[in-house]
Amino acid sequence: MTTTLRPMGPDRHGVDGMRSRDYEVCVNGRRVGTTGLATDGRFGPAVGRIVDLRIEEPDRRRGRATVAALAAEEVLRGWGCRRVEATIPESAEVALRLATALGYIERNRNMVKRVPDQPLPLPEGSAVRPMSEGEFALWSAHAKRTYVQSWVERGVAEEEARAKAEADHAAMLPDGVGTPAALLRVLSHDGEDVGTLWVSLADTLPGDIDGFVFEVEVAERHRGNGHGRSLMLAAEQECRAAGADRLGLNVFAGNTPALRLYESLGYATNRRHLWKSLI
């Protein structure tokens, strides 16, 4: 039997070389599913995405999805893509197993938690305050560098990572520390600054969350003293005060201490982001 991808319509072309197209998954000419292919707007036309690959129930568990995914990779190679990305819901266990078998690597995952009606208080001696203009300039430069490093260490070219960092900060912090939807905070303990927090309450967040923790960092010499937990408790307090019910966050693969912290606070994974080199 021959599994192929049959276009469902013309190529759609956007700005900066972006393109996308929908396909039927066919076995000997018979439709058994659908998928979409697109270049990734975050990284440019050299990075592709497989979007919503679905095989219809009567044809599942016969290897159709495996062959369709490999065919999709070939199409993306033909588009000039060097890497392919996929986002898979945590509930899609079969898709996660398939992606792993095909050599996809988890780069990061999103986690979510319902914010308690009465968040836990900060430990004695700890307090948060708004970040100042002067602090923001130093924090922003450092946050971008750290963000770039996290992506580069996980398969993203440095030029792509820098462009993404600049674009993300420009989009989410257009007015710097005065951005209305941004909560930028500094944590102190016993009068000494020990960490920073960035939470967004922007309307552009995905529909399943009301707030998102974009950055939590404890100063290196203060790590190991529970301040990361304090920052997360502060995030929950801020979100509850703003009426946000569901708080999301991102954790990069390999950051085991952060993952354990978030799990201990009740955060659960809701989607994973994976990648694979096409070269």
pLDDT of the chain, 279 residues: tens digit per residue: 688 999 999 999 988 889 999 999 999 999 999 999 999 988 889 999 999 999 999 999 999 999 999 999 999 999 999 999 999 999 999 999 999 999 999 999 999 999 999 999 999 999 999 999 999 999 999 999 999 999 999 989 999 999 999 999 999 999 999 999 999 999 999 999 999 999 999 888 888 899 999 999 999 999 999 999 999 999 999 999 999 999 999 999 999 999 999 999 999 999 999 999 999
Q: What is the pLDDT of residue 148?
A: 96
Distance CA 3, CA 23 (A): 12
* 91 to 25, 108, 180: CA distances (angstroms): 23, 16, 34
Q: Tell me the domains of the chain and their CATH numbers.
A: 3-81 (3.40.630), 113-272 (3.40.630.30)
Kindly report the backbone phi and psi dihedral angles of residue 207, in degrees, each rounded to the nearest multiple of 5, phi listed first: -65, -15
Check residue 268 and give its pLDDT.
Answer: 98
Other beta carbons less than 10 A from residue 270's beta carbon = 18
Q: Taking the CA of residue 80 as centre, how many other CA atoms within 13 Å lie in the half-sphere pointing to its CB? A: 6
Take residue 10 and report the two structure tokens written for it.
């013309």
Number of CB atoms found within 10 A of residue 246's CB: 18
pLDDT at 17: 84
What pLDDT was estimated at residue 155? 87
pLDDT at 1: 67
